[in-house]
Amino acid sequence: MTDRLDMQQTRDMFLYVADQFETNKPFLTEIDSAIGDGDHGIGMSVGFANAGKIVKEKEFQTVNEMFHQIGMAMIGSMGGASGVIFGTMFMGGAKNAAPFAAFDLEAVTHLFGGSLQAIKDRGKAQLGDKTMVDALEPAIASLQESLRQSKTLLDGLREAEASAKAGMEKTKEYIAKFGRAKSLGERALGHQDAGATSVWIIFKSMREWVEGIHE
CA 181 to chain centre: 21
Q: Cβ distance 178 to 125 under 8 Å? A: yes
* Whether pTM exceeds 0.85: yes
Q: Which amino acid is at 164?
A: A
**Whole-angstrom distance, CA of residue 214 vs CA of residue 210:** 7
Is the pLDDT assigned to residue 31 strictly greater than 80? yes
Residue 81's pLDDT band (cuts 50, 70, 90): confident
Which pLDDT score is estimated for 177? Answer: 65
Q: Cβ distance 56 to 74 under 8 Å? A: no
Distant-in-sequence, close-in-space partners of 173: CB < 8 Å, separation ≥ 6: 189
Which pLDDT score is estimated for 80? Answer: 78
Q: Which amino acid is at 213?
A: I
Which pLDDT score is estimated for 129? Answer: 86
**Whole-angstrom distance, CA of residue 85 vs CA of residue 80:** 9
**Whole-angstrom distance, CA of residue 214 vs CA of residue 64:** 24
**Whole-angstrom distance, CA of residue 70 vs CA of residue 68:** 5
Nearest-10 Cα torsion for 30, 72, 16, 210: -110
Across 72-81, b (16+ Cβ under 10 Å) vs e yields bbbbebbeee
Q: In the predicted model, what is the mean pLDDT of residues 80-97?
A: 90
Percent of the chain topping pLDDT 90: 75
Which pLDDT score is estimated for 156? Answer: 98
Residue 188's pLDDT band (cuts 50, 70, 90): low
**Whole-angstrom distance, CA of residue 137 vs CA of residue 148:** 17
Q: In the predicted model, what is the mean pLDDT of residues 136-148?
A: 98
Q: Backbone phi, then psi, for 102, in 5-degree steps?
A: -150, 160
Q: Pick the most confident of 101-110, 113-122, 182-191.
A: 101-110
Which pLDDT score is estimated for 91? Answer: 94
Domains in the chain, CATH or no CATH each: 7-214 (1.25.40.340)
Which of 62-76, 82-96, 154-168 has the weakest average pLDDT?
82-96
Is the pLDDT assigned to residue 137 strictly greater than 80? yes
Name the 3-class secondary structure at 103.
Answer: strand
